[in-house]
Amino acid sequence: MPSPFYAAMSDADVKAIVAYLRTIKPVKNVIPKSEYYIPLPANYGPKVGSVPEISKDDPVAYGEYLAHSLGHCTECHTPVVEGHTDFNLLNAGGRILPNVSGLGFTAVSRNITPHPETGIGQWTDEEIKRAITKGISRDGRELLNVMAFSYYDKMSDEDIDALVAYLRSVPPL
Q: How many Cβ atoms from other residues are within 10 Å of residue 26's Cβ?
A: 7
Residue 150 sits at the vertex; the CA angle it makes with 149 and 153, to the nearest 5 degrees, is 80
Domain 54-169 in this protein, CATH class: mainly alpha
Which has the closest alpha carbon to 171: 125, 119, 104?
A: 119
Residue pair 144/137 in contact by the 8 Å Cβ criterion: no
Residues of the chain with pLDDT under 50: 1-2
The model's pLDDT over 137-157, given as tens digits with 9 standing for 90+, comes to: 999 988 877 788 888 999 999
The model's pLDDT over 100-111, given as tens digits with 9 standing for 90+, comes to: 767 778 888 999
Q: pTM (2 decimals)?
A: 0.85
- DSSP type of residue 75: H
